[in-house]
Structure 1
Amino acid sequence: MTETGLFFIHALSPLHAGTGQGIGAIDLPIAREKATGIPYLPGSSLKGVLRDRARGKGWDADTLAAVFGPETEGAAEHAGAVQVGDAKLLLLPVRSVYGVFAHVTSPYLLERFRREALLAGLTPPEAVATPERESVGVAPGSKLVDAKLNGVYLEDLDLKPREDPALGVWEEWLAALTEAPVRGRLAVVHDDLMAFLLETATEVVARIRLDDETKTVAQGALWYEESLPAESVLYSLVRAENSHRKQKPLSAGEVLSLFNGLLDGALQLGGKATVGRGLCRVRAGR
């Protein structure tokens, strides 16, 4: 017997889920899917952080091992009862002349999210139509639209708004599930334009290390690192099964319930925690 769930990650500060090294102008890029170039947060990172939270909440050793698996030295004993998928990007915050910022997504991102939400037993709204490359889908009454010029301005892009009542349904549904500021800010662009924004609208900052004596930049201590901007929204699919630990028999439903109990509140995800990166709010999809 298995149970499937889904949870959301709302970045409250820039989120750096890095690859450790870069080969281009950015020294520390974020992790991206090989085929699509879409940023993601590895499931192994999520599982490790949530295991630490469970330990901090006072879970006993048998429950911890049953849900997440034994410690490394006992890994051959049995598998954990929960599998945590990679957190995939759903909404990318992009600067907007109106409405402060837009939560930008695309038909492909919404469609693959629908696929996984349905697996988790949720009932997401219907798929949306693909906008033309020079236009953007918005909900009626969107904060992003310049009413006088009938335009939406994202970064340096000038797009024509196309109102779609279906996006109003998506805004309300996502706002209720994630508690992110989606209402009035949802923008659906063509998949090709989304690929462009995923390359150009992430946050890239220069970091330096000062020499303690001279208080100038130390030799070779200038680097550039990339992050997903604050207000990004991601989601992860979770699969639970019956416990494999004889000392702690748990049903798949009990495992998922225990796991979901870890998903309320703030977590630090990714790297660069000491400089304020990766403060996120997690919430189980219900």
Structure 2
Amino acid sequence: MQSKLMFLHALSPLHAGTGQGVGAIDLPIAREKGTEIPIVPASSLKGVLRDACAALHPDGDTCTHIFGPDTDNAPDHAGAIVLTDLRLVALPVRSLAGVFAWVSSPFLLQRLSRDAQLAGQSNLPVKPSLADEKKAWVSNNSALKLGNTIILEDMKLDAQTQADTWADWLAPQVFPDDATWQVDFKARFCIVHDDVMSYLLQVGTEVTARIRLEDDKKTVAKGALWYEEALPAESILAGLVAAQPNGKAQPADVFQIIGQIAGHPLQVGGNATVGRGLCRLSIA
């Protein structure tokens, strides 16, 4: 089985939900059970990619060979594509300088590095040895620094210029065809302690109150107030896309189709009609 690393960049708030919530948020986003890291489930992503394939290849056979037949003909053969959940790599967080920071942590980057190794990449940056909750790593040309500190949300952290290796590795993979955004990413990239990241994953998502109006009165319908959670625009997630021969398609066919899809905007998750889920896919 051959695999490649893929990145998803949210151009608008992204709601990949789990249905009804049990807490204050009625419609929460999907998260890993053990880590609470936000994800886009592979099942959701597969549907998005299949629809995009169908738009590019309306003959139908190409999509069937890559993604597998429809439910009625499922026993015929499996699809040639294999997808993992997309996990958060960098969360956009409000910064007093530089507008916002793309914030990651040693644990998030360690898991990304493991995926990159599975995809055949080598010479990867080492896991950041950041042991102090009051410190943050930034790049040499960081736009986030105020003197020797950075301020993220309500937290003041001491800035250390040790994130260049990771920023230099990530930027061309997330923005492979845009040198301007590569520079911006490096200037806003930041690594914080895992405990600080856990806090940001709880308070750094976007929660919106939604209502439904009565058609005739234009007042809020009874019981029609709910809260939705979304990953903020500019969030970056990553996972693996793998391919295996299935008698209908070869790995090269799979990666060719995914490469074609990566050149077009995608709508991922729910609430498309209110602007949620506009994303860009890149293959490393």
TM-score by length of 2: 0.93
- What is the CA–CA distance in structure 2 between the aligned matches of 1:8 and 1:231, rounded to whole Å? 12
Query: 1:62, CA displacement in angstroms?
Result: 2.8
Q: Does 1:244 align with 2:243?
A: no
Q: Does 1:175 align with 2:178?
A: no
> Which stretch shows the higher mean deviation, 266-275 or 214-223?
214-223
Q: Does 1:225 align with 2:228?
A: yes
- What is the CA–CA distance in structure 1 between the aligned matches of 2:278 and 2:153, rounded to whole Å? 25
Q: Does 1:163 align with 2:166?
A: no
Give the secondary structure class of the aligned counterpart of 1:37: coil
Q: Report the AA paired with residue 241 of structure 2.
A: V
Q: Does 1:271 align with 2:270?
A: yes
- What is the CA–CA distance in structure 1 between the aligned matches of 2:257 and 2:246, rounded to whole Å? 12
Query: 1:258, CA displacement in angstroms?
Result: 2.7
- What is the CA–CA distance in structure 2 between the aligned matches of 1:252 and 1:222, rounded to whole Å? 47
Which residue number corresponds to residue 154 of structure 1? 152
Q: Report the AA paired with residue 135 of structure 2.
A: S
Unpaired runs of 5+ residues, structure 1, are: none
Which residue number corresponds to residue 129 of structure 1? 129
Unpaired runs of 5+ residues, structure 2, are: 176-180
- What is the CA–CA distance in structure 2 between the aligned matches of 1:80 and 1:251, rounded to whole Å? 10
Which residue number corresponds to residue 35 of structure 2? 36
Q: Report the AA paired with residue 109 of structure 1.
A: L
Q: Report the AA paired with residue 218 of structure 2.
A: K
| 8 Å Cα contact 2:8/2:281 also seen in 1 | yes
| 8 Å Cα contact 1:242/1:255 also seen in 2 | no
CA RMSD of aligned residues (A): 1.4
Alignment of 1:60-99 (within 5 A): 60-99=59-98
Which residue number corresponds to residue 256 of structure 1? 255
Matched residue count: 276
| 8 Å Cα contact 2:205/2:231 also seen in 1 | yes
Query: 1:74, CA displacement in angstroms?
Result: 0.5
| 8 Å Cα contact 2:53/2:257 also seen in 1 | no
Percent identity of paired positions between Structure 1 and Structure 2: 50
- What is the CA–CA distance in structure 2 between the aligned matches of 1:10 and 1:264, rounded to whole Å? 13
Which residue number corresponds to residue 178 of structure 2? none
- What is the CA–CA distance in structure 2 between the aligned matches of 1:192 and 1:271, rounded to whole Å? 30
Going by fraction, where is helix more abundant, 1 or 2? 2
| 8 Å Cα contact 1:105/1:188 also seen in 2 | yes
| 8 Å Cα contact 1:210/1:216 also seen in 2 | yes
Q: Report the AA paired with residue 154 of structure 1.
A: L
- What is the CA–CA distance in structure 1 between the aligned matches of 2:58 and 2:240, rounded to whole Å? 23
Query: 1:283, CA displacement in angstroms?
Result: 1.0
Give the secondary structure class of the aligned counterpart of 1:117: helix
- What is the CA–CA distance in structure 2 between the aligned matches of 1:92 and 1:170, rounded to whole Å? 15
Query: 1:255, CA displacement in angstroms?
Result: 2.6
Query: 1:59, CA displacement in angstroms?
Result: 5.0
Deviations 1:63-99 (A, max 9, x none): 2222100011101111101111111100000000001
| 8 Å Cα contact 1:264/1:284 also seen in 2 | no
Deviations 1:43-63 (A, max 9, x none): 111111111111111253332
| 8 Å Cα contact 2:80/2:250 also seen in 1 | no
- What is the CA–CA distance in structure 2 between the aligned matches of 1:119 and 1:18, rounded to whole Å? 28
- What is the CA–CA distance in structure 1 between the aligned matches of 2:257 and 2:231, rounded to whole Å? 29
List structure 1 segments (4+ residues) > 6 angstroms apart after TM superposition: none
- What is the CA–CA distance in structure 1 between the aligned matches of 2:48 and 2:267, rounded to whole Å? 8
